[in-house]
């Protein structure tokens, strides 16, 4: 399908980065990881970037004792803190009424699962109470996010902050228990969707840290965690998240219509309509003039007031996929059609690779607890998912895993950086890994790994690179022995972070990795490049450690031995 967008050829200029990496020996046609020479720390004035990151954790930490925690930069209006139905009001929360001039209310009923309480049932959106401190990404993202928190947790543990990391995980237990699921973030308008599933990885990371200090306490904590892991995983097996009859999962949001959190960028949906009208050659089912296309009554909210242009509206199907895209975390790209308006139709590589690793992790944790029967159930579930992924997602023609459109029964041809996820999950055979690496070379640039080769103007496409996907890629590559490419990408992304830091003294949520010297310019959607930034801080630290050792300490146990074929 022609999208009417510019495709920029990948850059091949790696000379500077190659000078930074030690040569890696080659054995059996595989790269063997060797520790590159670490680069000297950069400074903004007299403050090294590492110290900026270390100082940043405090400024990004929130708790229910702080007025700054309640504020929502995305919405106008008064702040409200919601507690679970019937939950006693802690004194620290009660104090917010006078201290911060906020309302404190209870949710109208108990929530057992996602969708039991719809955000529209609450007159005023607000912050959902969490019992422990947590770290926010930064900027407009002033709440605890689902997948951001995994990468943030890695950074906290790398600096010895076990208490804060464990509190974040226990906040997710609280969300599952009281809000029905791990939420996109702890705001009421996120009650209908989750985010990419990393809880098993988080539990494993915290457990191993605790176990080094106090094995008995670690085991007791792990036993407490297991029911929450099972409940979190069950969300992705629910009917709403089934990718047809493939045995795989999809992203899906139980809500409808435009998302409230776009209030601070209220032109977005009109921008989508304008683009679709300007590109009639792109065939979609996203536009309508029918009255039933009206997703909400005019003036019902700041977002709803900006969902029509020259009589055209977006269809309910577009809004379902728009919401599903936001559950994926990749908002916005053209990966699943223009503005990812067909997300609900796909079984994505990223989600199913994460669930495969999740199932293996849970199996491993049950083994640590001595429950071999449970461990086998989860290993069998992982094997079943691997079989389905090889059937539907593996594209032997291109030599990479690809997203599968289960409605039209075809694999996507849109190369995306999430092709690296099967390496991180330990899912790929050696042969699959080798061909995947050849595909990923086209996304490798001076400043790191770009999300795609498609310049759509969206923040999750070229020329932009993001910390979480760059980390998953290099971590997976290191486990399969691709030390040279791992070092090139890690050095490149760290260079992007340092270069920006030296220019303006900040760390950002995303970077132009094709040309790190250029500012990030996004045409539609989230147009700002937020300062903070939780997962970038963490990934910088983790990459620095990986470059010293040359190999991840957390490789999946299923990675095949070198030289074998599966």
- Report the catalytic residues: 331, 509
Q: Are 459 and 522 in contact (CB under 8 A)?
A: yes
Q: What are phi and psi of 449, to 5 degrees?
A: -95, 120
Tokens of 538: 């963490």
CA–CA dist 71, 211 (Å, integer): 37
Distance CA 106, CA 437 (A): 51
Segment (H or E) for 444 = strand 444-445
Q: How many angstroms from the chain centroid is the CA of residue 257?
A: 22
User: Is residue 357 a contact partner of residue 365, using CB atoms and an 8 Å limit?
Assistant: no
Tell me if 216 sits within 8 A of 287, measured CB to CB. Answer: no
> Which residue has 């990408």 as its token pair?
489
Separation of alpha carbons 518 and 43, rounded Å: 20
- Written as one string, the DSSP assignment of 397-408 is TTTEE--EETTT
3-class secondary-structure state, position 405: strand
Contact 226, 290 (CB under 8 A): no
240 CA to centre of own chain: 20
DSSP H or E run through 400: strand 400-401
Please, what sign has the CA dihedral across residues 249, 254, 260, 266?
A: positive
What span, in angstroms and rounded, lies between the C-alpha atoms of 245 and 242?
A: 7
* Total residue count of the chain as it appears in this document: 566
**Whether the Cβ atoms of residue 22 and residue 484 lie closer than 8 Å to each other:** no
The first and second tokens of residue 141, run together, are: 């993202």
- Residue 313's φ and ψ, nearest 5 degrees, are -130, 165
Q: What is the DSSP string of 209-264?
A: HHHHH-HHHHHHHHHHHHHHHHHHHHHTTSGGGB-TTSS-B----S--SS-GGGGG
Q: Please state, in angstroms and rounded to a whole number, the distance separating the CA atoms of residues 419 and 350.
A: 7
Q: Would you call 26 helix, strand, or coil by DSSP?
A: strand
């Amino acid at each position: 399908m022609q999208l009417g967008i510019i495709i920029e050829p990948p850059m091949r200029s790696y000379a500077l980065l190659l000078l930074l990496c030690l040569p890696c020996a080659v054995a059996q046609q595989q790269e063997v990881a060797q520790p590159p020479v670490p680069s000297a720390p950069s400074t903004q004035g007299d403050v090294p970037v590492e110290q900026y990151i270390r100082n940043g954790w405090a400024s990004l930490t929130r708790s229910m004792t702080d007025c700054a925690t309640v504020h929502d930069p995305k919405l106008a209006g008064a702040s409200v803190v919601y507690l679970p139905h019937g939950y006693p009001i802690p004194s620290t929360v009660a104090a917010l009424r006078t201290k911060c001039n906020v309302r404190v209310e209870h949710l109208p009923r108990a929530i057992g699962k996602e969708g039991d309480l719809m955000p529209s049932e609450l007159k005023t959106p607000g912050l959902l109470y969490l019992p422990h401190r947590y770290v926010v990404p930064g900027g407009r993202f002033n709440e605890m996010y689902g997948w951001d928190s995994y990468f943030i947790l890695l950074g906290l543990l790398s600096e010895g902050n076990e208490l804060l990391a464990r509190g974040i995980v226990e906040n997710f237990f609280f969300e599952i228990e009281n809000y029905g699921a791990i939420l996109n973030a702890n705001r009421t308008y996120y009650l209908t969707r989750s985010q990419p599933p990393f809880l098993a990885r988080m539990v494993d990371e915290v457990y191993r840290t605790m176990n080094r200090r106090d094995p008995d306490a670690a085991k007791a904590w792990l036993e407490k965690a297991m029911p929450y892991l099972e409940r979190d995983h069950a969300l992705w097996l629910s009917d709403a998240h089934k990718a047809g009859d493939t045995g795989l999962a999809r992203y899906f949001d139980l809500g409808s219509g435009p998302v409230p959190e776009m209030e601070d960028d209220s032109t977005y949906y009109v921008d989508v309509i304008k683009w679709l009208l300007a590109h009639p050659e792109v065939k979609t089912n996203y536009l309508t003039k029918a009255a039933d296309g009206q997703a909400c009554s005019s003036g019902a909210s700041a977002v709803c007031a900006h969902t029509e242009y020259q009589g055209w509206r977006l269809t309910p199907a577009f809004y379902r996929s728009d919401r599903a895209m936001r559950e994926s975390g990749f908002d916005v790209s053209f990966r699943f059609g223009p503005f990812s308006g067909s997300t609900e139709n796909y079984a994505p590589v990223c989600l199913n690779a994460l669930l495969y690793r999740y199932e293996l992790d849970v199996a491993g944790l049950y083994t640590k607890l001595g429950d071999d029967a449970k461990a086998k159930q989860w290993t069998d579930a992982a094997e079943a998912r691997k079989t389905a992924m090889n059937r539907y997602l593996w594209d032997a023609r291109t030599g990479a895993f690809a997203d599968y459109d289960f409605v039209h029964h075809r694999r996507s041809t849109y190369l995306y950086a999430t092709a690296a996820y099967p390496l991180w999950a330990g899912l790929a055979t050696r042969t699959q890994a080798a061909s995947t690496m050849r595909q990923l070379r086209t996304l490798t640039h001076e400043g790191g790994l770009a999300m795609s080769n498609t310049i759509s103007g969206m923040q999750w496409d070229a020329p932009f690179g993001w910390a979480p996907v760059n980390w998953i890629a290099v971590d997976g590559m290191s486990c399969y022995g691709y030390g040279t490419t791992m070092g090139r990408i890690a050095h490149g992304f760290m260079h992007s972070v340092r270069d920006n830091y030296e220019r303006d003294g900040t760390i950002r949520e995303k970077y132009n990795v094709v040309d790190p010297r250029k500012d990030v310019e996004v045409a539609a959607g989230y147009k700002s490049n937020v300062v903070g930034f939780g997962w970038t801080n963490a990934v910088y630290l983790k990459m620095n450690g990986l470059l010293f050792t040359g190999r991840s300490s957390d490789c999946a146990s299923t990675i095949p031995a070198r030289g074998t074929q599966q």
